[in-house]
């Protein structure tokens, strides 16, 4: 089955620790995105990538880092510089094109210990 796989489903971070969220897609999509969602809020864009080895900051990139070494993979690292990391993180992918929808993974809930 084609789709987007995010792991882990739940993740706990200790103070001062970096953690990495995994996102893998087998839809052959060029573009991949990371969004953050806080309770009762919409999705805010962290980083996005339209091609391998290239990515751009979204609206709330501070405290996060990404890489795009393979078309299928777009991991997100939440660094210790992100002081309020507790949120629901969603990875999405889609074809390049103005009329195309996004496909979402099942999400990772990150909490601080």
Partner 1 sequence: QKEVEQNSGPLSVPEGAIASLNCTYSDRGSQSFFWYRQYSGKSPELIMSIYSNGDKEDGRFTAQLNKASQYVSLLIRDSQPSDSATYLCAVRPSYGNNRLAFGKGNQVVVIP
Pick from 23, 48, 76, 85 the residue near partner 1 by CB under 8 A. 48
Q: How far is the CB of 43 from partner 1 (least distance, A)?
A: 4
Output the CA–CA distances (angstroms, integers) from residue 30 to 9, 20, 45, 79, in the order listed: 24, 21, 17, 26
Pick from 22, 58, 60, 67 the residue near partner 1 by CB under 8 A. 58
Pick from 27, 43, 60, 112 the residue near partner 1 by CB under 8 A. 43
Task: Give the helix/strand (H/E) hosting 91.
Answer: strand 87-94
Per-residue HEC secondary structure of 20-57 comes to EEEEEECCCCCEEEEEEECCCCCEEEEEEEEECCEEEE
Q: How far is the CB of 58 from partner 1 (least distance, A)?
A: 7
Pick from 23, 25, 93, 105 the residue near partner 1 by CB under 8 A. 105
Pick from 15, 83, 99, 113 the residue near partner 1 by CB under 8 A. 99
111 pairs with which residues across the strands?
Answer: 12
If one asks whether residue 52 binds partner 1 (CB under 8 A), the answer comes out as no
Q: Give CA–CA dist 17/112, Å, rounded.
A: 10
If one asks whether residue 106 binds partner 1 (CB under 8 A), the answer comes out as yes
Q: Give CA–CA dist 10/89, Å, rounded.
A: 10
Binding site for partner 1 (CB under 8 A): 31, 33, 35, 40-45, 48, 50, 56, 58, 88, 90, 94, 96-102, 104-107, 109
């Amino acid at each position: 089955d084609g789709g987007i796989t995010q792991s882990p489903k739940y993740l706990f971070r200790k103070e001062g620790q970096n953690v990495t969220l995994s996102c893998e897609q087998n839809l052959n999509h060029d573009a991949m995105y990371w969004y953050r969602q806080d309770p009762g809020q919409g999705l805010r864009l962290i980083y996005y990538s339209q091609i391998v080895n290239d990515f751009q900051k979204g609206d709330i990139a501070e405290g996060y880092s990404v890489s795009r070494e393979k078309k299928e993979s777009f991991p997100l690292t939440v660094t210790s510089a992100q002081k309020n990391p507790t949120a629901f993180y969603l990875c999405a992918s889609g074809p390049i094109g103005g009329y195309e929808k996004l496909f979402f993974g099942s999400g990772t809930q990150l909490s601080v210990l």
